[in-house]
Amino acid sequence: MKKLLRNLFSAILLVGILASCETSDPLIEEAQKNIFTQRFDSALSVLDRSIEKNPETGLPYYYKSLAYAEKAKTIPQAGERKETYTNFRENILTAREKFASMEEAPSEKGDVTNLVLNTWGFEHNTAIEYVNSDSLRATVDEPIKTSIAHLENAVIINPDSTLSWDILAQVRGIDGDYSGAISALETSMDLKSPTPAEDYQRLGSYYNADSQPEKAIDVLNTGVEAYPDSIQLVTVLADAYMQAGQRDKSMQTLRDLIERDPQNARYHFALGTQLLQAATEVTEEIDANYDTIYEYTTQLRNNEGDSDAINASIDSLISENEELLTSMNSYSAQAEEELVQVTELDSDNAQAYEYLGISYQNKASVLYQKRNFTQDNELATQLDEQAKEIIRQAMTAYEKSAELNPDNVRVWQSLSRVYLQLDMQEKAEEAMNKAGM
């Protein structure tokens, strides 16, 4: 129905354009009739003859533009209209140029902009409908690609439309064409003065999605220079640094945000999350080293290989783990400080309590590993007590998270493991049941 109304409106508009134009040129009159009866090739041929006869007038170029605009509407597939709209654009620019140099320009001179906007609006608005209208989307197999085709037509017709370029970038992004989204948005940004802060943010996100984190960082830094007070831009920049593997810069960017707004729980949570991730990665290195130590000790028990070389390797890994443990404890302490700050600023943040539990559990896991590989019984007892104390902290954090979000299966799974480590069998079974284990 919408399509029918749109076509009817276009037909009425065409009649209005032709009816309002008075000319004594028989070639123009013939072309007008051909356009109205949709004999576009005949109309274009007649108009070419008119140009040969009167090369300095803009009138035949104007009607060639009108013919191409109307011809495009009769091409069923939007993607097949590009050449027609390119011809439209070339002729309407020539018409405008010719009209400007004429001492007595015809009334059509005043209709040039309207013709451009009406033709552009036909494609642009149709593109929007293919995104927003459920009924129209159902009429084609790939509504997003159809919308893109209409928008690509719109920017051929009116390449100065920042609105069409912006929406084309968005729809290409929805379609997963991030390279195309980048190109469209950069074109839009070049047309704007000044460029809005949100454009830098969107462009950075497209570069990240297109696996170009370094370019995302460059764009976002440019945005931050232009809008130093934009918290959102700085936040996205921190994410971009993280995606690029530049954790230190990401953390420093977040610390700068916290300094500007120390009561913002979201910033503390973002920093705490990154610190926890760093601690977890170090924990995984320590675990891997302990696995290798176990393999070496198995070789020693089985009298396999050079015992001196194996012992030297074990000693080297133990020394390396001590250094890694120092690094892990540093990251963990900072993460816990930020996450505790989150719980103080936002006491209902279940995820912050969950992440605290993870941090405590990671630390306890390393202590248990260290206990298992020491031959000093007294030290083993001390390590066991330290690990259990930290596990109790993990239990408290997980329980609070489960209280705030009882549907989080992941937390109940973690709680079941913690309860087992603390020999709390009944609670472990209850947690397993809630986790669906």
Region for 177 from its dihedrals, namely left if φ exceeds 0, alpha if ψ lies in -120 to 50, beta otherwise: beta
> Is 283 inside any structural domain?
yes
Q: Could you give the angle at which helices 59-73 and 40-53 cross, rounded to 10 degrees?
A: 170
Looking at residue 12, its pLDDT comes to: 47
Same domain, 20 and 152: yes
**Model pLDDT, residue 373:** 82
Kind and range of the H or E element at 357?
A: helix 350-373
**Which CATH number goes with the domain that contains 54?**
1.25.40
- Domain endpoint, select from 134, 159, 184: 159
Which tens digit of pLDDT belongs to each residue from 139-191? Answer: 999 999 999 999 999 999 999 999 999 999 999 999 999 999 999 999 999 99
User: What would the two tokens of residue 20 be?
Assistant: 């309002």
Write the CATH number for 406. Answer: 1.25.40.10
| Spatial CB neighbours of 233, under 8 Å, sequence gap ≥ 6 | 197, 200, 201, 220, 223, 224, 227
pLDDT tens column, 59-83: 999 999 999 999 999 999 999 999 9
DSSP 235-250: HHHHHHHHHTT-HHHH
**Pair (150, 270) in one structural domain:** no
The pLDDT of residue 308: 87
Same domain? For 11 and 139 the reply is: yes
Q: Number of folded domains in the chain?
A: 2
Q: Could you read off the pLDDT of 80-128 as tens digits, one per residue? A: 999 999 999 999 999 999 999 998 889 999 999 999 999 999 999 999 9
Domain of residue 36 covers 2-159
Are 151 and 14 members of one domain?
yes
Picking from 104, 137, 159, the residue at the C-terminal end of a domain is: 159
Residue 368 lies inside a defined structural domain of this protein: yes
pLDDT of residue 9: 45
Q: How far is Cα 350 from Cα 401, in angstroms, rounded to an integer? A: 4
What span, in angstroms and rounded, lies between the C-alpha atoms of 12 and 5? 10
CA 210/CA 216 separation, integer angstroms: 9
In a domain, 219, yes or no: no
Same structural domain, 153 and 290? no
The structure tokens listed for 184 are 């469209």
| Number of residues written out for the chain | 437
**Same domain assignment for residues 286 and 424:** yes
Q: How far apart are alpha carbons 108 and 303 in whole angstroms?
A: 99
23 assigned to some structural domain = yes
Residues 429, 282 within the same domain? yes
Q: CB under 8 Å to 269, separation ≥6 — which residues? A: 338, 339, 342, 349, 351, 352
What pLDDT tens digit does each residue of the chain (437 aa) get?
Answer: 445 445 544 544 555 555 455 556 899 999 999 999 999 999 999 999 999 999 999 999 999 999 999 999 999 999 999 999 999 999 999 999 999 999 888 999 999 999 999 999 999 999 999 999 999 999 999 999 999 999 999 999 999 999 999 999 999 999 999 999 999 999 999 999 999 999 999 999 999 999 999 999 999 999 999 998 888 888 889 888 988 889 899 999 999 889 988 999 989 998 999 899 899 999 899 999 989 998 998 888 887 778 889 989 999 999 999 999 999 999 999 999 999 999 999 999 999 999 999 999 999 998 998 898 888 899 999 999 999 999 999 999 999 999 999 999 999 999 999 999 999 999 999 999 998 87
Are 405 and 275 in the same domain? yes
* Domain-terminating residue out of 102, 135, 159: 159
Structure tokens at 361: 């559990």
146 and 279 both lie in a single domain: no
